[in-house]
Amino acid sequence: MGSADSKLNFRKAVIQLTTKTQPVEATDDAFWDQFWADTATSVQDVFALVPAAEIRAVREESPSNLATLCYKAVEKLVQGAESGCHLEKEKQIVLNCSRLLTRVLPYIFEDPDWRGFFWSTVPGAGRGGQGEDDDENARPLAESLLLAIADLLFCPDFTVQSHRRSTVDSAEDVHSLDSCEYIWEAGVGFAHSPQPNYIHDVNRMELLKLLLTCFSEAMYLPPAPDSGSTNPWVQFFCSSENRHTLPLFTSLLNTVCAYDPVGYGIPYNHLLFSDYREPLVEEAAQVLIVTLDHDSTTSTSPTVDGTTTGTAMDDADPPGPENLFVNYLSRIHREEDFQFILKGIARLLSNPLLQTYLPNSTKKIQFHQELLVLFWKLCDFNKVCWPQGRSHQQLGLPEKFLFFVLKSSDVLDILVPILYFLNDARADQSRVGLMHIGVFILLLLSGERNFGVRLNKPYSVRVPMDIPVFTGTHADLLIVVFHKIITSGHQRLQPLFDCLLTIVVNVSPYLKSLSMVAANKLLHLLEAFSTTWFLFSAAQNHHLVFFLLEVFNNIIQYQFDGNSNLVYAIIRKRSVFHQLANLPTDLPAIHKALQRRRRAPEPLSRTGSQEGASMEGSRPAAPAEPGTLKTSLVATPGIDKLTEKSQVSEDGTLRSLEPVPQQGSADGSPTVEEPSQARREQRRLSNASASGQWSPTSEWVLSWKSKLPLQTIMRLLQVLVPQVEKICIDKGLTDESEILRFLQHGTLVGLLPVPHPILIRKYQANSGTAMWFRTYMWGVIYLRNVDPPIWYDTDVKLFEIQRV
């Protein structure tokens, strides 16, 4: 039958369904078969031929017909899974049903009255085998659907290659088939890479699209504060009820991490061959991150005993979470598996950067946000709770992903793309979520000493970025990009300033030598943040000054040798520190400062930061195109909720400082309790400040001014300024290089206060961030699935869809 005929027949069936007021019997096969038996409609056709208004009309006016349609479509998928889909006709029916369900499911989810429909039982669909009419044993429709999809994803000659030697062999029995032998791609736990097969890839993609649609019920529930609510679809699919969980998990992970969009290393190859792998890889990445949507704060994270096995998954771990995908992810431990995953993610994240060397030489991938979520999940779930202060080597334990990432400079292959995305998205309102996840990953990494150490590697790759040219290390790159975000990002990024500076504080004790460009950027930030009107205009702005002072103190105390550029910059800008020490606290001065604010509304300007020329070949960060769609995000927790303070001991181990309420920390910076009080105060006052009611008091300024950790810097200035001035007078110097040479050979040993202990603020998982990740992830998936537009114009509750 021609394609036009089949579309016509399909459309006729849809019209009949919407106009029939009487229920159609489930046994009326002649009627129901019109939807799938003799049609060859693409998923795009199905979306065009089944309009939203008609689905809603059937739902409201003849609900039993919609119920029967869903039930019959699921039944066809179950039959296809049972039979193994050997005939072309069977394959076509399975694809048609799966497209139809992908179209209809969102309209079932958007109506609260229908939400339980798929979890109700269907007579005759027994759990214990065929045809048991025992309703006690009946399977809910959702379970039958999910198990059928899982079976169909390992169906020889449909979604995987057949292992039959010849056509004489009988068809492989789907029930006895060991799907672990049919994993889609080599990588974790599987060494054999099957021949690429376009048809199989397309069929897998259609089924994964349906699976993702099943999981998307989460989009129709408003964000819950406890976030502990598990998605029943994901929960069942990732449970031991599904016999394919392990091969499916590895198939999805390996398909993503093995993908090479360059076209097997040949530039411009993608222009000759259409890449049918990318849509599958994208779909696999989206399904994978949704199955891993698991709040790690509500479950115990696995601790291990000392035995390991030779398998890809570490069997020594206790059972861990019931979600088997999370469980498997947490138990990967072989070095070659970590290498495969890290190299794959780094290769894909770097793909947009390659574009800038040889434009169009490689296919530009678009799913970097999904990859960042996947990287986050790997770091978050693949970890072990070590006994306090002991490393995995001392305990003879398998290492975990985060440790592996940080033990070589490979982590920089993740860092550079993240900094590229942050810099590129800083002016774009529609990419606030991307900014947040990039910063969260860097915050997580910065809690580990090795990250700070790795940043000392010289930065030689010249990815064209809209930042000043500099010669230096990856630490310089990080500081220059952060400065750019703070000084020329859009207003909605202000909540991230705390996080950005916390990252710099965490790495600062390990930075051996900052460039002059980076040193000037840090001092420009201090200058901007310590203006009186900025300090007095919001209840928490002074925290930014505390963070920067902590950075300077760490570098002076722990990395003085090698940081003459920073010391010189501090000497040049010494007036800023004197102004801070003499900050006015009387009310008239406070009011005068705030009056000045009304005349200068911009909190940070680029003047005075000695911008310099941007890198060659770079484009300025652009704002979103007007009309761009974006999805709303829930608020992220404050830095005090996001992190936990730990102190670095002499032997390099960390000791948590959290449980003991402190009376003020060693370095005079606000304790965790104080910022959280200030934050509570700020939350109470944030509405007030919008209408101009919050006003700083003398007591409030005094309460934190007395804790400004200025002692070390003042001592440094006291010792070095007279010496530098003397050199200038003696030699009539205006030349920086001579002063820098003097500072390089100078020493402050014995002259500075006793070094303070290093404080690290480590990222702490909490339900607030779990909820943020859920809304962000589903927002990305919603916006990225436009062909067909699965969820477009349905009544989504998890977030709002907004136009920039």
Which token pair is 795?
A: 């009544």
Residue 712: what residue type?
T
Nearest to 792 by CA among 283, 801, 773: 801
* Residue 602 DSSP class: -
* pLDDT of res. 399: 66
**pLDDT value at 686 more than 80:** no
Instruction: Say what the alpha-carbon torsion angle 717, 719, 720, 723 is, to the nearest 10 degrees.
Output: 140
Pairing between β-strand 643-648 and β-strand 654-656 as defined by DSSP bridges: antiparallel
pLDDT for the residue 288: 98
Ranked by mean pLDDT, the top range of 260-269, 273-282, 640-649, 684-693 is 640-649
**pTM for the model:** 0.88
Question: In this predicted structure, what is the pLDDT of residue 396?
Answer: 47
C-beta atoms surrounding 461 within 10 Å = 13
Quick one: average pLDDT of 109-136? Answer: 69
Helix (H, G, I), strand (E, B) or coil at 501: helix
Say what percent of the chain tops pLDDT 90. 53
Q: What are phi and psi of 571, to 5 degrees?
A: -65, -45
- The angle subtended at Cα 536 by Cα 535 and Cα 538, nearest 5°, is 90
Rg (alpha carbons) of the chain, rounded to whole number: 30
Cα 29 to Cα 75, 76, 296, 520: the distances in Å are 12, 12, 47, 76
Mean pLDDT of 420-443: 94
Q: Find the distance separating the first CA and the last CA of the chain, reported in whole Å.
A: 46
- What is the pLDDT confidence band of residue 471, given thresholds at 50, 70 and 90? very high
Burial annotation 339-357 (CB, 10 A radius, 16+ → b, else e): ebbbebbbbbbbbbbbeee
Q: Using CA atoms, how far apart are residues 804 and 587, in angstroms rounded to an integer?
A: 41
Q: pLDDT class for 688, splitting at 50, 70, 90?
A: very low
Instruction: Please state whether the peptide bond connecting residue 279 to the residue before it is cis, i.e. omega within 30 degrees of 0.
Output: no
| Partners of residue 646 on adjacent β-strands | 656, 760
pLDDT of residue 764: 87
Burial of 226 (0-12, 13-18, 19+ CB in 10 A): exposed
Q: Give the DSSP letter string of 344-375.
A: HHHHHHTHHHHTTTSTTSSPPP--HHHHHHHH
Using the predicted structure, report yes or no on whether residue 489 has a pLDDT greater than 80.
Answer: yes
Say which range, 193-197, 359-363, 453-457, 582-586, has the weakest mean pLDDT.
359-363
User: SS3 for 28?
Assistant: coil
The whole-number pLDDT of residue 665 equals 40
CA atoms of 740 and 533, how far apart (whole Å):
34
Instruction: Say how far apart CA 263 and CA 273 lie, in whole Å.
Output: 8
- Cβ atoms 97, 32 nearer than 8 A: no
pLDDT at 266 over 70: no
Over range 711-738, report the average pLDDT.
Answer: 86
Least confident of 292-296, 572-576, 684-688, 741-745: 684-688
Residue 546, both tokens: 């505390």
User: Tokens at residue 661, please?
Assistant: 């309420």
Query: How far, in Å, CA of 221 to CA of 231, rounded?
Result: 10
- Which amino acid belongs to residue 429? Q
Give the strand pairing for 801-803 and 759-763. Answer: unpaired
In a 3-state reduction of DSSP, which class is residue 109? helix
- Note the pLDDT tens digit of each residue in 520-543: 999 999 999 999 989 998 889 999
What are the residues whose beta carbons fall under 8 Å from the beta carbon of 680, sequence distance 6 or more?
A: none
In whole angstroms, what is the distance from residue 638 CA to residue 294 CA? Answer: 21
Comparing C-alpha atoms, which of 453, 445, 439, 571 is closest to residue 510? 453
- What torsion do the CA atoms of 490, 491, 492, 494 make, to the nearest 10 degrees? 110
pLDDT at residue 654, rounded to an integer: 81
